[in-house]
Amino acid sequence: MVKKYPVRVNVNGDDYEALVDPRKTLLQFLREDLDLTGTKEGCDEGDCGACSVILNNRVVSSCLVLAVEVDNAVIETIEGVKTGEELHPVQQAFVDSGAIQCGFCTPGMVITTKAMLQEMPNPSTKEVKEYLAGNLCRCTGYVKILDAVENAKEKLKNG
Amino acid sequence: METFEYIKPKSMDDAMNALNTYENAFLLAGGTDLLVGMKYNSIKPECIVDIKEIPRMNTFEFNDGWRFGALVTVRDIEVSDRLKQTMPFLNQTAKALGSIQIRNRATIGGNLSNASPCSNFGAMFLAMDAMLKIISKDGERQIALQDFFCGPNQTVLKKGEILTEIRVPEDAGKAEGIFLKHSAGKSNDLGLVNIAITLHREPGTNLCKKITIAMGAVAPTPIRAKKAEAVLNNNILTPDLIIRAAKKASNEATPISDFRASADYRRSLVATMVAKGINTLIKAS
Ligand code: FES
Ligand code: FES
């Protein structure tokens, strides 16, 4: 029997208690144990950003965090971004700008954009490119994603 | 992956106990290198000691020189206004490291202890003549960063030792400095060459009182370009002299060829980047 460790964690406002295998990443824990499958696994080694979540107010790659490390942490995943049935302005901006093709990178893009706009409401294009540099998209060519971020900035300003 | 014990000590003493109880224990800070190593099975820990809850390891302050806790994250350095005003080259060093997701987790102590030849902070702190504080159950010792690295991913840290602090002399905070990384395109990739420079000039002139030049990714560990420094120290920084020093630095580099770049290309990058770094510093004022 593999020894398991107790973890208490708040995800999207809900408290969870679980016993976890120490080898499990936060990404696996979210997807397999909590059934929050919006967060995607791309590379599983910290290079693509598909697994981005906000951990204690900072955007991180959940594939490079062990589930046992997040005891007592507060986490936001893509499932927690909308309010009720209403999309978050960042999500709506991605839809409006046509910044989604296959959609695999989108949860990570949205989470990272949200984290960025919380830290700096009015980033320059250069700052946006730097902040999103760890989020890879194989479909869109990034132009529409940058449009979506501009759009999201406006929406939040007028919010 | 084999399973392992996971321990999260609340004090340094508990961390020491854990480290000394297990044959093959690894420290976990930001985890951005450790987890990758574990996934590739190049690291097979028997026990993981997560040191993030040990107090006072994640702060930095000025107190007769600068003291940086080993668990300060790269992102903390990047966004620090206090550092922007005194040592903006440290903010630069941080900003050039990986993606935001990595910088939010990775720690400066981890960056040094992992001892990658292209460690950003390895080069910058080397240029700043940093000292390290290392703790074990037998007490503490101080060593110069210069004596810390011994090869790719190898340091002088012995079993049961923890790097807890990085100290830089007050002097380093009064220098001008720059960190340059050259990587393929504008990517987050590791640097093909990193250059870190600090410069003390006679105020209002180009007389170099003291220069330090460190290079990353061009030798088994980050190294100082001592011969290039000697060419410049106590001399006026003229264009000719800068070129001469840049060539010296390039000769001091012993890079390898790999899938990222050839040794020759790296050597020529060294010369270009050293000259560019110095010129940027003297043009900035
Ligand atoms: S899956 Fe985590 S960064 Fe790619
Ligand atoms: S939309 Fe397909 S990867 Fe971005």
Pocket of ligand 2 (CB under 6 A): A 100-105, 137-140
Confirm if A34 and A26 have CB atoms less than 8 A apart: no
Q: How confident is the model at residue A134 (pLDDT cuts 50, 70, 90)?
A: very high
**B185 pLDDT higher than 90:** no
Question: B104 contacts in A (CB within 8 Å)?
Answer: 58-60
Residues A101 and A62 in one domain: no
Question: With left for phi above 0 and alpha for psi between -120 and 50, is residue B54 left, alpha or beta?
Answer: beta
**CA distances in angstroms from B246 to B128, B236, B243, listed in the order given:** 19, 15, 5
Give the range of the structural domain holding residue A131, as residue numbers without chain letter: 89-157
Domain containing residue A60: CATH number:
3.10.20.30
Beta bridge partners, B236, equal: B207
Residues A58 and A100 in one domain: no
Nearest CA to ligand 2 atom 3: A137
Question: B31 contacts in A (CB within 8 Å)?
Answer: 64-66, 69
Residues A74 and A14 in one domain: yes
The last residue of a domain, from among A49, A80, A111:
A80
Indicate the fold that domain B60-171 takes in CATH.
3.30.465
Q: How many domains does chain A have?
A: 2
Residues A60 and A38 in one domain: yes
**Residue range B5-17, pLDDT digits in tens:** 999 999 999 999 9
**Residue range B195-236, pLDDT digits in tens:** 999 999 999 899 999 999 999 999 999 999 999 999 999 999
Q: What is the pLDDT of residue B64?
A: 85
The number of the ligand nearest the C-alpha atom of A48 reads 1
Residue B228, classed as helix, strand or coil, is helix
**B63 pLDDT higher than 90:** no
**CATH code for residues B5-50:** 3.30.43.10
**CA distances in angstroms from B211 to A113, B22, B67, B125, B146, listed in the order given:** 41, 44, 22, 14, 16
**B186 pLDDT higher than 80:** no
User: In this structure, which CATH number among 3.30.70.2660, 3.30.390.50, 3.10.20.90, 2.40.128.110 belongs to the domain B172-284?
Assistant: 3.30.390.50
Question: B76 contacts in A (CB within 8 Å)?
Answer: none
Residues A76 and A99 in one domain: no
Domain containing residue A139: CATH number:
1.10.150.120
Interface predicted TM-score (ipTM) of this complex, two decimals: 0.97
Nearest-by-Cβ selection for B104 from A23, A44, A60 = A60
Q: What is the pLDDT of residue B284?
A: 78
Task: Pick from A3, A60, A126, A149 the residue to mutate for testing the B interface (most B CBs within 10 Å).
Answer: A60
For B81-192, strand residue ranges (E) read 131-136, 139-144, 149-151, 154-155, 162-168, 176-182
Domain ranges of chain B: 5-50, 60-171, 172-284
pTM over 0.80: yes
Residues 6+ apart with CB under 8 A from B8: A68, A71, B49, B50, B52, B53
Task: Pick from B5, B101, B104 the residue to mutate for testing the A interface (most A CBs within 10 Å).
Answer: B101
Residues A9 and A75 in one domain: yes
Read off the amino acid at residue B38: M
Residue of B nearest to A129 (CA): B186
Q: B-side interface with A, Cβ within 8 Å? A: 1, 3-6, 8, 28, 31-32, 35-36, 39, 48, 50, 52, 75, 95, 98-102, 104-105, 186-188
Nearest-by-Cβ selection for A59 from B35, B50, B100 = B100
Q: How far is the CA of B32 from the centre of ligand 2 (A)?
A: 24
The β-bridge relationship of strands A58-61 and A74-76 is unpaired
Nearest-by-Cβ selection for A64 from B35, B52, B100 = B35
- Distance separating alpha carbons of residues B104 and A64, to the nearest angstrom: 11
The last residue of a domain, from among A80, A113, A130:
A80
**Terminal-to-terminal C-alpha distance of chain A:** 52
Residues A97 and A68 in one domain: no
Residues A55 and A22 in one domain: yes
Confirm if A50 and A108 have CB atoms less than 8 A apart: yes
**Residue range B67-93, pLDDT digits in tens:** 999 999 999 999 999 999 999 999 999
